[in-house]
């Protein structure tokens, strides 16, 4: 324990500016939400903990799996669509404290968001230095849908596990990387992006060391093999369990998602959704905005490649982006599905880091204010389904 504290304390001190900045941005977002919600006669806390997916996670924590809603059109919304790690943590925290399941979900999200911010910093600091790391964390905090990081959703928890798994890969801690990837796979379906990143890095290391005449030690090789074996366990176990429970075999989880009208169609449904926007002038503006948004995401990924980001970051960001843009899920949820893809922000973080401190602070503060207002407006309106 003493050795762990000795290693953690310097790392925490190094990350402190990023974490303090992150906490300030999130506090601003919560204050804006509280004021906006009060003006509309709504409860900000209810919006954060007891609506949309947060309710489904709470039901899993309280009642377990098996709950479903049958809609008039024949669709079946089953809680088997929601991966178990967040509700497990909600149940554990509620059992150990006086917190309700909803309160526990909020607490887990707040703690996980700080862990995620630290992970984003650790990855960026390792690759590009401390200043870029601080900028990356602040940019992740001021995303337009950043308020989701404070909701009883699984995005913060997943991003924390993904970021630290990637950091473990970058620093050669293969078993840790695989274990965290496995936990990420128990958190969200996009956990396969973390698995892909770990496997890509592991295979590349194997090929590189085979070409190196010096080779590598058998212990390191064994640790890497164990990490690669661990990485897909979380996703595989849950998906196979759902298939067994539904009686539909290995692809049972896909049937569950189909009940929610979720699937992977290569982006066809999203493209048709955008095209339909151009049937009238007001909606055509929204369609143009969507095209610009998708173009920005693609440009950021191309910039990541040109920037020469490490392979695991490129693979992770690529899979997250592909799953978000090419899924047939509700189109309003795509921005939050992209939120875990923090490596996409690194080109912007580097550009921001090159500016004078005062100028970068003004830019971040301005975006933070706009993000706080948008988050308050969004949650009091359509919100994240």
Flag whether 314 is in a domain.
yes
Average pLDDT over residues 216-244: 92
Average pLDDT over residues 343-360: 96
Flag whether 68 is in a domain.
yes
pLDDT at res. 371? 97
Flag whether 384 is in a domain.
no
Where residue 4 falls among pLDDT bands split at 50, 70, 90?
Answer: low
Query: What's the mean per-residue pLDDT of the chain?
Result: 92
Question: What are the pLDDT digits (tens) for 29-58?
Answer: 999 999 999 999 999 999 999 989 999 999
Cβ-based burial of 307 (10 A; exposed 0-12, middle 13-18, buried ≥19): middle
Average pLDDT over residues 285-289: 82
Put residue 99 in one of left, alpha, beta given phi > 0 → left and psi -120 to 50 → alpha: beta
Q: In angstroms, rounded to a whole number, what is the distance separating the alpha carbons of residues 144 and 141?
A: 9
Lowest-confidence pick of 248-262, 266-280, 281-295 = 266-280
Q: In angstroms, rounded to a whole number, what is the distance separating the alpha carbons of residues 31 and 27?
A: 6
Q: In angstroms, rounded to a whole number, what is the distance separating the alpha carbons of residues 120 and 19?
A: 10
Flag whether 179 is in a domain.
yes
Say how many domains are in the chain: 1
Flag whether 7 is in a domain.
no
Please give the distance of CA 226 from its chain centroid, rounded to a whole number. 25
Where residue 362 falls among pLDDT bands split at 50, 70, 90?
Answer: very high
Q: In angstroms, rounded to a whole number, what is the distance separating the alpha carbons of residues 154 and 61?
A: 13
Above 70 in pLDDT, residue 385? yes
Above 70 in pLDDT, residue 215? no
Where residue 100 falls among pLDDT bands split at 50, 70, 90?
Answer: very high
Flag whether 223 is in a domain.
yes
Give Dmax (Cα) for the chain: 70
Flag whether 19 is in a domain.
yes
Above 80 in pLDDT, residue 282? no
pLDDT at res. 290? 84
Token pair belonging to 325: 């843009």
Lowest-confidence pick of 36-45, 209-218, 229-238, 323-332 = 209-218
Torsion, Cα of 151, 331, 197, 121 (10° steps) = -40
Q: Are 190 and 200 in contact (CB under 8 A)?
A: no
The secondary element (H helix, E strand) that includes residue 136 is: helix 130-141
Question: What are the pLDDT digits (tens) for 116-170?
Answer: 999 999 999 999 999 999 999 999 999 999 999 999 999 999 999 999 999 999 9
Flag whether 20 is in a domain.
yes
pLDDT at res. 214? 55
Range of the domain at 297: 15-379
Kindly state the DSSP code that residue 72 receives in the 8-state scheme. Answer: T
Q: Are 120 and 342 in contact (CB under 8 A)?
A: yes
Percent share of the chain, pLDDT over 70:
96
């Amino acid at each position: 324990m003493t050795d762990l504290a000795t290693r953690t304390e310097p790392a925490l001190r190094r990350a402190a500016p990023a974490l303090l900045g992150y906490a300030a941005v999130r506090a601003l977002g919560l204050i804006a939400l509280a004021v906006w919600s009060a003006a509309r006669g709504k409860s900000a806390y209810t919006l954060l903990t007891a609506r949309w997916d947060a309710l489904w996670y709470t039901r899993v924590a309280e009642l377990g799996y098996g709950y479903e809603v049958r809609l008039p059109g024949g669709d079946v919304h089953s809680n088997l669509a929601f991966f178990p790690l967040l509700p497990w943590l909600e149940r554990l925290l509620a059992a150990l404290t006086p917190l309700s399941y909803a309160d526990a979900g909020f607490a887990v999200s707040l703690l996980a968001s700080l862990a995620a911010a630290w992970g984003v910093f650790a990855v960026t600091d390792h690759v590009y230095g401390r200043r870029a790391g601080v900028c990356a964390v602040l940019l992740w905090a001021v995303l337009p849908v950043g308020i989701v990081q404070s909701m009883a959703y699984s995005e913060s928890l997943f991003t924390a596990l993904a970021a630290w798994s990637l950091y473990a890969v970058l620093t050669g801690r293969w078993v840790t990387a695989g274990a965290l990837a496995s936990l990420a796979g128990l958190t969200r379906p996009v956990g396969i992006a973390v698995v892909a990143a770990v496997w890509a890095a592991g295979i590349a290391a194997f090929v590189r060391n085979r070409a190196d005449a010096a080779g590598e030690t058998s212990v390191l090789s064994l640790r890497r093999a164990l990490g690669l074996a661990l990485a897909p366990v979380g996703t595989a176990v849950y998906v196979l369990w759902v298939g067994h429970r539904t009686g539909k075999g290995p692809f049972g989880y896909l049937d569950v998602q189909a009940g929610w009208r979720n699937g992977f169609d290569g982006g066809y449904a999203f493209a048709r959704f955008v095209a339909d926007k151009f049937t009238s002038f007001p909606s055509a503006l929204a369609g143009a905005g969507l095209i610009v948004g998708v173009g920005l995401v693609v440009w950021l990924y191309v910039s990541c490649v040109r920037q020469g980001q490490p392979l695991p970051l490129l693979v992770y960001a690529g899979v997250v982006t592909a799953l978000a843009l090419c899924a047939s899920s509700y189109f309003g949820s795509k921005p939050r599905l992209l939120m875990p893809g923090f490596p996409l922000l690194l080109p912007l973080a580097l550009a921001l880091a090159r500016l004078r401190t005062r100028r970068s602070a003004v830019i971040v503060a301005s975006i933070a204010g706009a993000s706080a207002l948008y988050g308050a407006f969004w949650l009091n309106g359509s919100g994240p389904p």
